[in-house]
Chain A
Amino acid sequence: MNTKVTIAGVTFKNPVTTASGTFGSGMEYSEFVDLNRLGAVTTKGVSSVPWTGNPVPRIAETYGGMLNAIGLQNPGVEMFVERDLAFLKQYDTKVIVNVCGKSVKEYVEVVERLSEEAVDLLELNISCPNVKEGCIAFGQDPKMIAMIMDEIKRHSKQPVIVKLSPNVTDITEMAKAAEAGGADALSLINTLTGMKIDINRRAFALANKTGGMSGPAVKPIAVRMVYQVANAVKLPLIGMGGIQNAEDALEFIMAGASVVAVGTANFVNPYATIEVIEGIESYMKKNQISDINDLIGCVK
Chain B
Amino acid sequence: MAEIKKTKAVITENVKLCDGIYSIWLKEESIAKASKPGQFLSIYCKEGSRLLPRPISICEINEEKTMLRIVFRIAGAGTNELAEAKKMDEIEIMGPLGNGFFLENTSNSILIGGGIGIPPMLELAKNLPGKKQIVLGYRSETFLVDEFKSYGEVIIATEDGSVGTKGNVIDAMREHGIVDGMIFACGPTPMLRGVKNYASEHNLIAQLSMEERMACGIGACLACVCKSKDKDHHSNVNNKRVCKEGPVFYADEIEI
A residues within 8 Å of B by Cβ?
A: 21-24, 28-29, 31-32, 44, 50-53, 56-61, 63-66, 68, 70, 73, 75-76, 79, 215-216, 264, 266-271
Asked if B219 and A53 sit within 8 Å, CB to CB, the answer is: no
B225 contacts which chain A residues (CB < 8 A)?
A: 53, 56, 58, 73
How distant is the Cα of A57 from the Cα of B225 in the complex, in angstroms? 9
CA distance A216 to B238 in the complex (A): 33
Q: Are A267 and B6 in contact (CB under 8 A)?
A: no
B interface majority secondary structure: loop
Closest chain B residue to A205, Cβ basis: B213
Given contacts A22-B221, A32-B6, A270-B216, list 4 more A-B pairs with CB under 8 A.
Answer: A28-B219, A73-B237, A216-B51, A269-B6
A299 to B224, CA, bound (A): 41
Which residue of A58, A64, A76, A266 contacts B220 across the interface (Cβ within 8 Å)?
A266
Q: In the complex, are the beta carbons of B218 and A28 less than 8 A apart?
A: yes
Show 18 residue pairs from A and B whose CB-CB distance is below 8 angstroms, ordered by the A residue. A22-B220, A23-B220, A50-B235, A50-B237, A53-B237, A56-B213, A58-B213, A59-B213, A60-B213, A61-B52, A66-B52, A68-B221, A68-B223, A73-B222, A75-B237, A215-B51, A267-B216, A268-B52
10 closest A-B pairs by beta carbon, nearest first, are A75-B236, A24-B220, A59-B223, A28-B220, A57-B213, A50-B236, A267-B215, A58-B223, A64-B49, A52-B237
Chain A residues in 8 Å Cβ range of B222: 24, 44, 53, 58, 70, 73
Q: Give chain B residues whose Cβ lies under 8 Å from the Cβ of A215.
A: 51
* Number of residues of chain B lying within 8 A (CB) of chain A: 34
User: How far is it, in angstroms, between the C-alpha of A53 and the C-alpha of B219 when the chains are bound?
Assistant: 15
**Given contacts A64-B51, A267-B51, is CB(A24)–CB(B219) below 8 Å?**
yes
Q: Which of B177-229 contact A (CB under 8 A)?
A: 212-226
Whether B64 sits at the interface, judged by CB under 8 Å, is no
User: Is B50's CB within 8 Å of the partner chain A?
Assistant: yes
Select from chain B the residue with minimum beta-carbon distance to A32: B6
- Which positions in B face A, CB cutoff 8 Å? 3-4, 6, 44, 48-53, 78, 94, 212-226, 234-239, 244
B221 close to A21 (CB less than 8 A): yes
- Are the CB atoms of B239 and A29 closer together than 8 Å? no
Contact A270 B49 (CB under 8 A): no
Which residues of B are found within 8 Å of A52, using beta-carbon distances?
237-239
CB-CB < 8 A to B226: which residues of A?
A: 56
When the two chains form their complex, are residues B51 and A66 in contact, meaning their CB atoms are under 8 A apart? yes
Residues of B within 8 A of A21 (CB): 221
Verify A73–B235 contact, CB threshold 8 A.
Answer: yes
Nearest Cβ in chain B — how far from A260, in angstroms? 19
Q: Which residues of B contact A53 (CB under 8 A)?
A: 222, 225, 237, 239
A51 to chain B, nearest CB (A): 7
* A68–B51 CB distance below 8 A: no
Contact A264–B235 (Cβ < 8 Å):
no
Contact residue among A51, A76, A270, A271 (Cβ-Cβ distance under 8 Å from B218): A270
CB distance from B57 to the nearest CB of A (A): 18
